[in-house]
Each structure stands twice: as C-alpha cells, then as structure tokens.
Structure 1
C-alpha cells in the first residue's frame, strides 16, 4: 500500500506569495521581504488528483515530428523561425526485455526571465557542465514591454493587468538571448502562461474558453515580440513556437481541470500543473501526460514536502522570503538532502522519474538555487541517470509498452522489482 510517509506539507495556491515577489523568475527586481499564504496553503493528508476531462474540438499544434525540407523559414514578423529539428535531442528507445529503465530527472524553471542576477544563463551553464537539459517555462508577458501592456487581455481582469511585474526593456532583450541559446542547446521552452493570477479570479476560476485565450496569448507574445518591442536588430528565435510548445505549468498549480481541456485542443502532450503526487511513474490524464510536483522525504522528520522551492521556503521561514540568515546553511542542506532523498529512493527502487521545480529567485539568500545546483551536480552524471526535459520524457514514455508502464505505476517509490520479469 502506498503511503505518504507521515504528514505531507503541501503548499499550493500561493497567489499572494508570488504576487508580492514581483513575479516568478523576476531576477530579484523589487522583490518583497514577506510572502503571505492563503488558507489553502496548509498541510494535507494526501495529494489531490485531477479528474479526466472531455476533449474539445479545436486547431491542434502542427506535428513536431514532421520531416524538414532543409530550408530555414522566417515566420510572421520575424520573431520566430523554422530551422529544422531541435539539436541535441536523444532518440527515445523502447525498453528491451529485462532492461532497467533509466533514472530520469527533470529540472524545470517557472518564469524563465534573465534578470540582473543572470540566473537563466547560469543554469544553462550548470546544465551543460553536467550533461543535463532542462525545461524553461516562459512567462509570455516577459516578452511584452510595459508600454504595450494593453495588448494583454487577461481572463477576468482589466487589460494589461498582471499579478507580477513587467520586465524591463533590457531584461526582455536578455531573455530573448537566453531563450535562443537554451533551445539550441537542447533545452525545452514551455510556458508559465502570462499574468500569474492565483486565488480569486485566477486560473482556478477560469473556464475552458478563458484558458484557451490565455494559451493563445502565450503563443502570441512569443510570435510577435519584434512588433511589440521594436527590436528589429535582434535575430529571430530559432524555433516555431507552435511546434515547440508542448506543455506548461500553471501559476500556483491552479486550474488544471479546465486547463487540460483547453490544452488538448492545442495538441499539447503534457501538463505539469498538478498540485502534487507521490513519486510514481506518470500516467495520462485524458490523453495528456501528467507530470506533477512530487512528495520527497524531509530529513529528520516523518514529513514529505513537494519538490519546489516555495514549499521549502514555507516549511523553513513561513511567509518570509528573508528569514534568519543564521539558518540559511542549515536550510540549504535540508532542501538539498530532501531532493537527494527523493532521488535515492527511486534510483535504488522503482526508477520513477524525479521532478524538481524552481523559480529564478533569491529567497533566503538564494539557498534554494544553490540546493538545486548541488543536486544537478550530484546526480546527473551518475550511472543510468538522464537529466532531461519534460518533452523528452514524454517522447520516451510514448514509445514504451503501455502494459509495462502500467506495471511500473504499481510500484512503491522505494520498491526495486525484478526487472527481468517486469519488462517483457
């Protein structure tokens, strides 16, 4: 029987916290010192699960696997381009009989802004140095100048309104440079949507039609950044976002049910917006891979914590993003060891993928960034480990025998089966 291993610390719906921090991945500009949590951000005895939803009709994303004719094409206003298959993509291979699965680890980043602290570029280097590729969930409005704020029409809010800050002009230019380089290195550009609205009138309150509008605008801000910014001197992004975008993570992990219905009409392949689950092999939710944050063991306690920075923040310094500096090193080690506990549990057990989510932030002196970097350096070069993007994981899952995957989903995280008899 699968258990939570004690009290589960489940922090979701963190609307006020993230809103007060000038946004996920804001590079620290205007970051507040305190973060307020709504009543929903409290311990839960078990993670909730999303229910399947019917698929609507709609125009789907063009098949990203279609053959390339070798010609580079500038798209639209020159903001994006079609340059052929993405470089450095592993070929997904079906498990051979008796073969142990790779230990997949996915590091993902919400917001993906290159701010003054240059964390986007830093973690690109960390990835390259450690044989890793990562998923960067871009907030679409980070490519929209504040002077053009009226172009954003958020669901249930006034035109131009956001729960986070608009990027500076220089940060937009810098972020475009990072997106270009990240994709060419084999990293994935997903979406964190646009306005970062949580709580009342946020994603959890949006209809399917409103989610479709938010998604379409996510495409538009990437496909029209040259028109919106006037930066004609910059080269186009080297990808067609209609083909590149395969999934995202909703702000504050809210609204997955209607989001999934909306996402299916765009042909998305996965969603990372689930408010949490155990470390088990993924399954599909109405045809879309469900990649939730996961519960990992918190050292020295019976608790498990969701695998994202703000859950550790809440567990360590409550609603303050600048807690007691004397405890920073202790908290960093606890966060790092929580992730490593989760890794070791499945690496020597079920081999279920490990999902670690984060923001580009400097909470509690940047200890959560350092903890993630420590984990990348600790695990990504180990035997049998593959640090991949969500899209690459979906590619691999799609070529596996569904019956084998079903058996793997029955495994407890620490359960090491007889792979010879399980994988046939």
Structure 2
C-alpha cells in the first residue's frame, strides 16, 4: 500500500499490535480435502470464452461453477489426523505495475495453492469518478489509499479474472482504508459499515459503467454470490461489522487482530479467522502473521530501511512464517493464516519471504494450501463436537497420545475410533 506514513506504524511486539488493534494494509496426503487443480499455464478456460450470463451492466457474469476447485470436503474419518490448512491472503489485491499479482498467481499454480484476494472496491473505480464514493465520516471521494491509474485498473481486472479462473477466492478489503482520526473505521456504526459494503460491491459490479469500457470482458463471477468474507483496514471495526455481514450471508471474517494458533470458532454466527501471533526469531515476543507487521518490527517507521539489513530481515521474515507453520503442523494442526500485500517494501524482501515460505510448506503430507472459502467449506461439514475437541488444544500442544487416542478419549465427541 502506498502513502504508508498517513496511517502510522505498529508497536514493537505482538502485545503492542494487539493493544492498538492495528495491522498494516495496502494496496500431500488425501485426508479431509483434495487439493486445488494445477492447470499448466494457458490450460484454463479463458473467462471470456466460458458460457456467460451477463449481470447488470455486464461488469460481472455468471459463467457457472468455478474451475480448479478441490474435491468436495468430507468429515474427518475416525482417528484421522486433521489436514494442515494454510491460507495465504492478499489485502487490496490491485496490480500497480510491479508484476506481483501475476507473480503470485504463477506461484500458486505451480504449487497447487488456493489463495484469497481481498479486492479493494476503489481499485475498480477510476479516479475521475471518485465523487461516487461517499465514505462514512470522511469527505466525498476521500481515500487513504490511492486510486489506480486507468492502465493499472485494467491490469487489476485482468488478474482478478485470472485469479477466479485459477480457482482462487475474491473477497473484499472494503474501500478507503481509513485507520486513524475522526473518520477511522474503528468508529463506524453498523449502518455505516453497511454503506461501505454496499459501495464496495457496487464498484466491483458496475466498473463498466464507471469506466466506460463497455467492450471489456466481464469478471467471470457473480460477486454478490462470490463474496462471503473480508478483512477490514488495519484490523479495525469488526464488532460493528459482524451483524451486517451476518445479515448479508457472509460465512467468515478475517479482521480480528492478535489471534493465536488454535482452531477457530464463530463470533455472532460468523467464522472468526484472525491473523495469528507467530514466533519472531531473535525476540521473546511474537509478531502477527502479516508482512506489514513484520516490517513494523524491523524497520519501524519506514518502508525503505537500510538496504544492508535486507538480507537479514528477509531471512528473519521467512523463518518467522516457517516456525509458525511448523508449530502448528507438528502439534495441534491449527490452520495457519498469512496476510500479505502486493508491495515492494524494503526492497521487496517480504514478497521473497512469503514465496520461500510457501515453497517450504507445499507438498508436505496432509498440507492443504487453500483459500478462506475452501477452508470454511471444510469446517462446515465437520461434526461440531469434533471441532470443539480440536479447539481444546492449546498453541503448540500435540494431541496427547496421538490423534487416534485423542479422539478416542473424547467420549461422545461423535468420532468412533477403531
């Protein structure tokens, strides 16, 4: 995200992050759930070629079932080890000329990964039409992230189409990204959040009207059906947002700060999937599982720190992700959420770190690299008593006696172990 100084940075450790309620934002087994398909480059059906039913002004279209999805999720078998889910997500999800969007689409394709792209609605609204945006408690057209240039807006459309065709989820990062001052999303009421959501959806579903590009290919999905979750700016304002998204039928929210590596539950009827505290090599405190928060603890108030420190910081960021992964994978198998931005902060070291981390996780037994949508699909078919049992495992706690014994010891849990 650009203009980082307008929003401020985080404290030095997880405790400071959790207290502030902030996070930076910007622009191989067979158990439980199959992996997303891995079409070679160019093999997928191009969105424009699929049978389409245009919706509204033609900005979006119903092209049928989303391709490249995992096998249908099934309940855990008796005594079965839970999969290790890892969810990589991207806040903003706009292409601003850095090539990062297509870079990570290719990485995901090469490793059979599903991801979630939290699209900022303003990234599909041209700056010439910014007066259409009426942000709560802020001037008309205001935004703490920049509007995209027309060429970058076209690129964002291109890669959003491709992301969906590749099997990824398109969520929302809302619009203007207000984190401080009197207009902060932290202070928005439920009705103001409703307005923000409605506007975010309108910018995605009416981009043809707003840009005048009536001959451009539509986005190949019905966004009102596709949208089942999001992440708020700087992880603020969730309490008043939840009643609204519950009414809208959303199934999860990824806005909580300061989560722990445990199995999730619901808040107000919505799956609560927070960024998590993970080990931070060289420190006694933990850091949130997001590139920006690692940056905040490394270079403090700048995205252009000392280049001589970049190699060490890159190694530290990579190790942090991998230690968080191993802590879950080798113990309670809690799902692992990693938040990212398409940004080249501190020489792009965080993009390199997340790529190396993904490569270090992919292909391991039981590991599932999925989107939030795919993960909650799995959660929703599990016996609630099984999930309750899993939630009882603490951070870094392996099931006593192994998974078979763990479930067998749970009388009435609903899983019969031979």
From 287, 293, 304, the equivalent of 1:311 is: 293
Structure 1 residue 410 displacement after superposition: 1.3
1:47–1:405 Cα change, 3 Å: farther
Matches within 5 A, 1:21-420: 21=4, 37=8, 44=15, 47=18, 72-90=52-70, 91-200=72-181, 201-417=183-399, 418-420=402-404
Cα distance in 2 between the residues matched to 1:116 and 1:47: 33
1:317–1:251 Cα change, 3 Å: same
Structure 1 residue 103 displacement after superposition: 0.4
Structure 1 residue 422 displacement after superposition: 3.3
Structure 1 residue 380 displacement after superposition: 1.6
1:142–1:36 Cα change, 3 Å: closer
Secondary structure at the aligned position of 1:44 is classed as: helix
Secondary structure at the aligned position of 1:263 is classed as: helix
* Residue pair 1:49, 1:277 contacting (<8 A) in 2 also: no
* Residue pair 1:192, 1:250 contacting (<8 A) in 2 also: yes
Deviations 1:323-375 (CA, angstroms, capped at 9, x unpaired)? 11111000001000001000001101000000000111111100011000001
Deviates more, 1:359-368 or 1:83-92: 83-92
> What 5-or-longer segments of structure 1 have no aligned partner?
1-17, 22-33, 51-69
Structure 1 residue 19 displacement after superposition: 6.4
Q: State how many pairs are aligned.
A: 376
Deviates more, 1:294-303 or 1:176-185: 294-303
Structure 1 residue 413 displacement after superposition: 2.6
Structure 1 residue 300 displacement after superposition: 2.6
* Residue pair 1:36, 1:319 contacting (<8 A) in 2 also: no
> What 5-or-longer segments of structure 2 have no aligned partner?
22-49, 408-414
1:276–1:252 Cα change, 3 Å: same
1:364–1:268 Cα change, 3 Å: same
Task: Indicate the RMSD between aligned Cα atoms, in angstroms.
Answer: 1.9
Cα distance in 2 between the residues matched to 1:352 and 1:143: 35
Cα distance in 1 between the residues matched to 2:172 and 2:389: 31
Structure 1 residue 48 displacement after superposition: 7.0
What TM-score, normalized by structure 1, do the two folds share? 0.85
1:88–1:327 Cα change, 3 Å: same
Secondary structure at the aligned position of 2:296 is classed as: helix
1:401–1:45 Cα change, 3 Å: farther
* Residue pair 2:10, 2:293 contacting (<8 A) in 1 also: no
Secondary structure at the aligned position of 1:104 is classed as: strand
* Residue pair 1:113, 1:175 contacting (<8 A) in 2 also: yes
Cα distance in 2 between the residues matched to 1:45 and 1:150: 36
What TM-score, normalized by structure 2, do the two folds share? 0.87
Residue 411 of structure 2 is matched in structure 1 by none
Cα distance in 2 between the residues matched to 1:121 and 1:371: 17
Deviates more, 1:247-256 or 1:81-90: 81-90
